[in-house]
Amino acid sequence: MSHLPRKVREGGRGCRTCRGKWLLGGILAEGGSAALGGVFGALPTTMFSQNIGLVALTQQMSRWVVAIAGGALVVLAMLPQVAGVLASVPPPVLGGGVLVLFGMVCAIGIQMLTKDGLDGRSLLIVALSVGLGRGIAAAPDAVAGITGQWSALFDSGIVVAAFLAVVLNLVLPGRAGALGAPGSPAAVDVRDLPSHADNAVDEAQAERWRREIEEVDLTVLEAEVERRRSTSS
């Protein structure tokens, strides 16, 4: 679920920021679908990061798209002839689509890392996490001697990179209130603001930008009120 808060945001410039109730609704829907699948003896469903690439590529973020796709899968399950036609698609064709899909996931990951800027602390966390994760994936014999319950942690380079990034983010000291630090107010990307030279910005998009700025101002105000309360007490 780590990529769910970014799905709405990374769908395209000017999209609304993911709210807390949307995140809770997504978690609830995924848990409910997994439980329902278990009732019918099917494998539990889960969300894949490849969806981020599809959203960014197609610019479609409607829930109706997901509902229609689910209905199409049900129809395919009942019509094996149609499913056989889709299964006959040549591997090079599928490979071309997968290449674009995973490339978009990688590109959006880089965009997420660099969007708010990388200071020395963030660069160190990214370098150690990515370096160790890729190193274990490239040379699994380096951790072959680790046995027991810790061996499962080193089976995947992605797990190692994610675990190390979380630990380093908690351990390494950071400047209080720094951009991107835990508890710091969110920042508005100047690239998302309308430009005077850009006459193609419609009123709906400008209204979304204004709402985002208002949300950020409210967050900053709440943080300042909380700081003054803690200081006075």
Calculate Rg over the CA atoms of the chain: 22
Residue 169 counted as domain residue: no
Q: Distance (Å, rounded) from C-alpha 157 to C-alpha 162? A: 9
What local confidence, expressed as pLDDT, does residue 177 receive? 44
What backbone torsions phi and psi does residue 152 show, to the nearest 5 degrees? Answer: -65, -30
Long-range contact set of residues 40-47: C-beta below 8 Å, sequence gap at least 24: 47/1, 47/3, 47/4
pLDDT above 70 for 225 = no
The token duo for 7 is 């799905």
Q: Distance (Å, rounded) from C-alpha 164 to C-alpha 187? A: 26
Residue 28 counted as domain residue: yes
Sign (positive or negative) of CA dihedral 176, 182, 183, 185: positive
What local confidence, expressed as pLDDT, does residue 206 receive? 67
Can you give the length of the chain in residues? 233
Mean predicted confidence (pLDDT) in 159-178? 77
- Identity (one letter) of the amino acid at 48? F
Residue 66 counted as domain residue: yes
Sign (positive or negative) of CA dihedral 27, 32, 37, 38: positive
205 pLDDT band (50/70/90 cuts)?
A: low
What local confidence, expressed as pLDDT, does residue 25 receive? 79
209 pLDDT band (50/70/90 cuts)?
A: low
Residue 217 counted as domain residue: no
Q: What is the pLDDT of residues 49-96, one digit of tens each?
A: 667 667 777 777 777 887 888 888 888 888 888 878 888 888 888 888
Number of domains present in the structure of the chain: 1
Q: Distance (Å, rounded) from C-alpha 163 to C-alpha 120? A: 20
What local confidence, expressed as pLDDT, does residue 218 receive? 64
Residue 7 counted as domain residue: yes
Residue 25 counted as domain residue: yes
Print the domain residue range for 111.
1-115
Residue 92 counted as domain residue: yes
The token duo for 12 is 């395209």
What local confidence, expressed as pLDDT, does residue 31 receive? 84
Q: What is the pLDDT of residues 110-156, one digit of tens each?
A: 877 777 677 788 888 888 888 888 888 777 777 777 777 777 777 77
- Name the residue among 179, 158, 195 with its Cα closest to residue 114: 179
